[in-house]
Chains A and B, each alone.
Chain A
Amino acid sequence: MIKTIAYKEFLQMVRDGRVKWAAGIVFCLLLASLVVGLRHYQDLSAQHELAQNKVREQWLSQPEQNPHSGAHYGTYAFKPKTFLSSVDTGVEPYVGAAVWLEAHNQNQFQARPAEDATAVERFGQLTAAVVLQILLPLLSILVSFSVFAGEREDGTLRQLVSLGVKPSHLAAGKALGVAGALAMVLVPAVVMGVIALTLLTDLAEARADLGRMLLMGAFYLLYFGLFIGVSLAVSARARSSRLALVALLGFWIFNSLIAPRVVSDLSRVLFPGPSNFQFESDIKLALQYGVDGNTTYREVEKKRRAEVMAQYGVDNVRDLPVNFAGIRLQMNEDWGYEVFDKFYGDLYQNFRRQNRVQQISAVVAPLLAIRSLSMGLAGTDYYLHQDFAERAEMHRRLEIKIINDDITFNGAEAGREYVNGIDVWEKVPPFDYQMKPVSWILGNHQVSLLMLLLWFGFAGVLLCWATRKIEVV
């Protein structure tokens, strides 16, 4: 019986010109956004690979010079693009994709497309995620707002209920029918995505991305499912299809337009962060006077110098069997690490709190939940960005340590005149960032996942309640 109801709903929607047009438009937008996203992914992946190789080549081809000059020459760490970033660009346009790794400084990220965006782009980019998170729910509302209310107005609901159809069958059949109509838009897009995945990525990467892709697909299905459930429930309870449409559009506007902005501002109000200028000024000050504001680097250096001389049993740094310049450089780095760990740590902690507010706020707007999960699985969320930034910083510290150790242990005789070349550059491994496993991603987004499941369950219960109490007169 459910199949019969679903098929009839599907058939009616397919024959309805309005649904055809709306679905056609959304499909075209989804297709366009996917094509643009894939092209963007291809371009950026190629650029990323090229730049990564070029930077490594430049690093290795440095002339013989004091290794510390090499540390200042620096290198870049590029955040790898995942295939699914073609679906959801997440926070990447705002947080940047590359960071310059150099001595003494933990730099902020560069290459932020949002900085170069035109004013028009402030209205939002058309990505597949935008289509899936905002336009498809709108389409689901447009195809389902009159499913019950329209039948009540047309009188067919009396006819239907007079047959003794179980309300649960009616609800399930209609929900499946609407889902079938939406599948007409989604299935070709998913097929296209899988084909592109196999063509554009190598097998191992494709396998890893496929798992994330399937999971992302499942989460989006839950999201669409909850919209179908809520839409049908409202349609079942509303006195007219017009009222149902108004109520559902109100929900859609709140979910898609109001809640994300309000929650974003709310998270900033609850956990305000420093401005970029303030942040850099505070770091500069702390580098001079320490994290506690009462210690100078000179004092620390003096103490450390005494410790080193005691360790080697000498009275003068000139008598050390190692190059003290290397030790001092590392000492300076260690002093900086304490400052960077404190300030970046606080900043990351604040961002995480803001993110948590957004995840919890999904209790009022399911978009916030799916957005968070979608970004996470696409590898474009804040958590992965932070992880990448921390890995890049670890790599910078490793790079500087290798160079300073080289100066310390190989430059004792030459002192300030010490030079080295390819031997030391090669000791620094290339930066390689591995995508995090799904369990790590879900761990960061567990609140969002819970909220999405709660919304889905709520929509199901709401639909059952609304159809059980459906009024035909």
Chain B
Amino acid sequence: MGQQKEWQGPGWLNECLAYASILGKISIEKVVKPGQQKAKFNHIPALRKDAMLEATDLSKVYDGGPPALDSLNLTIEPGEIFCLLGANGAGKTTTINLFLNFIEPSGGTAKVKGLDVTQAPLETKKYLAYIPEQVMLYRNLTGLENLEYFSALAGRRYERSALLPFFEQVGLTTEEAHKRISTYSKGMRQKVGIAIALAKKAEALLLDEPTSGLDPKASNEFSGLLRKMSSEGVAVFMATHDLFRAKETGTRVGIMKHGRLVDTMDTEGLQHTDLERIYLEHMHD
């Protein structure tokens, strides 16, 4: 992808562009280069297309503790797969929760397709599909009943027969679709999560360590599904610990530490070893 171009011009121009961004023409993204404790410029504006997911100075502090998320500036465009790496407690899940409006931000804004999630919580959710580490479904309903239920609640009603192709797309058989969720493996449940996103016709996916605990084959299949969806214009935000999966799946990778996005990089041309090195450098800082 890489449509976002970093701007590293003089300060006065940065200021102008920052003002221009307020008019909605340019997004602001904070970038901290590897090895830097703080960004050289706090706000480095970037030219962009229409953003699907956009965080502006997004912050979250729980009960007076240290910031769980500290002034995040991030833009994810349609068709982009942004993988967010970070240790436990780095703020990855908090970011997802803020985009889903599950929690209130302490500062800044989270926008979905230009809409502030706190101002239009129901409308913004229409564009989103959420896939957590373990897609939780109703155990005593079948996969098909679950998909029918969730897609109906998302405002997409289908005949049951019209839902079966979604199972097919994610690699589940018709027979499996008719089994109760209690008999499903984790990988199968994750696939149902994707099927829900497909049926919902979501324009952005928020994934919270979705491949954690999946075997390599299932993980690979899952990544394939994500890439397919992104090729159809779906924006993907995936929080993960899995550097390999992030490099393989993502178009862009970000590293988060103590609630701050400390680095972002395009995956094109990036080697696994480079990513690992950069990540570890940040973790050891």
Could you list which residues of chain A lie within 8 angstroms of chain B, going by C-beta atoms?
1, 4-5, 8, 11-12, 15-16, 154-156, 158-166, 472-473
Contacts and interface: CB of A to CB of B under 8 A. Distances in A.
Interface of B: 97, 100, 102-103, 121-126, 128-130, 132, 134-141, 145, 149-150, 152-155, 200, 206
B128 A162 contact: yes
Nearest to A472: B102
A165 B128 CA distance: 12
B125 A163 contact: yes
A163 B136 contact: no
Given A4-B149, A158-B102, A158-B130, A163 B138 contact: no
Contacts of A472: 102
Contacts of A1: 152-153, 155
B59 to A, nearest CB: 17
A4 B124 CA distance: 22
A26 B129 CA distance: 41
Given A158-B130, A472-B102, A473-B97, A163 B137 contact: no
A141 B143 CA distance: 28
A15 B153 contact: no
Given A472-B102, A473-B103, A164 B154 contact: yes
B154 A163 contact: yes
Contacts of B154: 163-164
B130 to A, nearest CB: 4
A12 B138 contact: yes
A164 B136 contact: no
Q: Rank and list the top 3 A-B pairs by shortest CB-CB distance, nearest first.
A: A164-B125, A155-B136, A162-B130
B123 A155 contact: no
B198 to A, nearest CB: 14
B101 to A, nearest CB: 9
Contact of A4 (B126, B136, B152, B200): B152
Interface SS of chain A: helix
Given A5-B153, A11-B141, A166-B122, A161 B136 contact: no
A155 B136 CA distance: 5
A4 B152 CA distance: 7
Given A4-B152, A164-B126, A165-B153, 17 more contacts: A1-B153, A4-B153, A5-B153, A8-B145, A16-B140, A154-B139, A158-B100, A158-B136, A159-B132, A161-B100, A161-B102, A161-B125, A162-B128, A162-B206, A163-B200, A472-B102, A473-B103
Interface SS of chain B: mixed
B137 A159 contact: yes
Contacts of A156: 136-138
Contact of A159 (B122, B123, B124, B136): B136
A172 to B, nearest CB: 13
Contacts of B141: 8, 11-12, 15
18 contacts: A8-B141, A11-B141, A154-B139, A155-B134, A156-B138, A158-B136, A159-B130, A159-B135, A159-B136, A159-B150, A161-B102, A162-B102, A163-B150, A163-B153, A163-B154, A164-B128, A165-B153, A473-B103
B61 to A, nearest CB: 15
Nearest to B129: A162
A4 B146 CA distance: 11
Nearest to B127: A164
Contacts of B200: 163
Given A8-B141, A8-B149, A12-B141, A162 B125 contact: yes
A473 B125 contact: no
A4 B149 CA distance: 7
Contacts of B140: 12, 15-16
Contacts of A4: 149, 152-153
A164 B138 contact: no
Give the interface centre of A4, A16, A166 by most chain B CB atoms within 10 Å.
A4
Contacts of B150: 159-160, 163
B121 A164 contact: yes
Contact of B132 (A158, A161, A163, A164): A158
A20 to B, nearest CB: 12
A170 to B, nearest CB: 9
Nearest to A471: B102
A166 B155 CA distance: 11
A163 B139 CA distance: 19
Contact of A473 (B102, B134, B135, B206): B102
Contacts of B145: 8, 11
A164 B115 CA distance: 14
A162 B123 CA distance: 11
B120 to A, nearest CB: 10
Contacts of A166: 122
